[in-house]
Amino acid sequence: MPERKRVAVLADSDTRWKWGALTARRLVPDHQLTGFLLRGRATPTARQLGEVGVRADRLSEVTCAEFLAEIERERYDVVVLALVGGAVQAVLHGARALWPAPARRPVLVTGYVGVVYEKLADGLLLRHGADLVLANSRHDAQRFRAVYEGVGADAAAVTETALPFLGGAPYEPAGSRAHTVVFAVQPSVPDSRADRAYLLERAAGHARKHPDREVLIKLRSKPGEHTTHLEEQPYQRLAEKVPGGLPPNCRLVYGNMGEVLDGTDLLVTVSSTAALESLHRSIPTAILTDLGIREALGNHHFLGSGCLASWDQLDSGLLPTGDPVWLAAQGVLPAPGPDLGTGGATGGATDAAAGADAYAVARAKVAGLLAATRLPSPAPYYTRTTAPGYLPGILARHHLAPDGTPLPGAARPAAGESRLRRRLRGHLREAARGAYRHGVQRVAPVIRRLGEL
């Protein structure tokens, strides 16, 4: 019986952990998964990890330098970097320092957790140097290759796949049950208090106009928690100030998005990746245009989707459906029948048009790399020659020197440190995170308002 492959996933938020762990399942179906959470402002809480619903054989919190020490010490076959671009670049340069010549090293995989609508060139070039850079659709793969080829970088790592969490049963109309509308909110889109309050009031207004419907405000995090993006204006606090309060058929909910979609009849959002999950299941999906169609909102990504709509149109009964050509280009064509894999958070993505496995090419690439005796040293586009004024700062933020080696004291050895000292250090980190999050959600908005006086 072949030995199970060892896979490490390094993630810096709840959503990226979900993407990374599910991507690992798709790339290496029979594996032993070790999870690492990159210590930082968005390190997920136990509640957030439980809501994601994807578990590892072992899970621990590390710094970049500690993770590099781990993959040098332990032999991992595949490493999935589910991180922001700067952190990916730091790990790639750290790996280059560990293996400066062809060697037996792990296969390095990275990509994006959802819709890529901003900082395309910056984010992609920070990910260059991984063995596989996964694109969630044919559309993204074409854009990714164009960026790399445009700077003269090798684009062979770009590999078309699909979002790993697309899945679940195809939509069935409500029938006798209550028609359920889900407003999937986002932590930072829109970012202003006025715009967020407007959208919440429109959702509440929709509930008042349709007392026979259930309107759910699907939240990403609780106050004090952070996700991939900062949330300065939590909807929970805005809901407390809705005139007259939320109607009885409108409420705030948490939970796994796949499970919430199981009972959804209309998904409404500005530009959340939840729209792609919804469209994959043929659920009527609306991308809001109330605040305009703007790059800053990300809803421009859905041009041609057939889903752009306003709350006024939804109030009048519109149920938008996705355009098949657009869906095909985005890799989210509705599945032709019930999902035979695992649903919700662990659902598998399929190329519904061809009935093919969207991860077959990526899996074959990984298998080929694993079969090689030695792999070349990682070769990121950004070096001290191509970006001497940019790269050192990125590496320094992760306590790495310009050559990718850890700065003195960056990797603190756990051996010899007492349990009490480790626990005290952990409590201090949590207190510091709490103070930071309080500053973001309470203090910063007040200072900003005072500055506008």
Q: Are 147 and 124 in contact (CB under 8 A)?
A: yes
* Residue 150: CB atoms within 10 Å: 10
DSSP state of 218: E
Residue 245's alpha-carbon distances to 50, 172, 184, 236, 316, in angstroms, are 30, 32, 19, 12, 23
User: Residue 184 — pLDDT band, cuts 50, 70, 90?
Assistant: very high
- pLDDT tens per residue across span 239-283: 999 999 999 999 999 988 999 999 999 999 999 999 999 999 999
Residue 52 has pLDDT above 70, yes or no: yes
Residue 446 has a pLDDT of: 60
User: Residue 53 — pLDDT band, cuts 50, 70, 90?
Assistant: confident
Q: For the whole model, what pTM was predicted? A: 0.85
Kindly state the average pLDDT of the residues 73-89.
97
Residue 338 has a pLDDT of: 40
The span from the CA of 245 to the CA of 237, in Å, is: 12
Q: Is the peptide bond before 223 cis (omega within 30 degrees of 0)?
A: no
Per the prediction, the chain carries an average pLDDT of 87
Residue 421 has a pLDDT of: 62
pLDDT above 90 as % of the chain: 71
Residue 335 has pLDDT above 60, yes or no: no
User: Which residue is associated with the tokens 């890529």?
Assistant: 116
Q: Are 167 and 347 in contact (CB under 8 A)?
A: yes
Residue 317 has pLDDT above 90, yes or no: yes
Q: Are 133 and 144 in contact (CB under 8 A)?
A: yes
Q: Which two tokens stand for residue 17?
A: 């952990």
Kindly state the average pLDDT of the residues 374-378.
98
Residue 452 has a pLDDT of: 58
The span from the CA of 23 to the CA of 75, in Å, is: 20
- pLDDT tens per residue across span 131-170: 999 999 999 999 999 999 999 999 999 999 999 999 899 9
Q: Which two tokens stand for residue 207?
A: 């509930």
Residue 233 has a pLDDT of: 86
Q: Which two tokens stand for residue 11?
A: 């993630």
Residue 69 has a pLDDT of: 97
Q: Which of 110, 82, 157, 168 is nearest to 350 (CA)?
A: 168
Residue 355 has a pLDDT of: 43
User: Residue 349 — pLDDT band, cuts 50, 70, 90?
Assistant: very low
Kindly state the average pLDDT of the residues 416-422.
60
Cα-to-chain-centroid distance, residue 436 = 22
Contacts of 402 (CB under 8 A, 6+ apart): 384, 391, 392, 395
- pLDDT tens per residue across span 275-293: 999 999 999 999 999 999 9
Residue 83 has pLDDT above 80, yes or no: yes
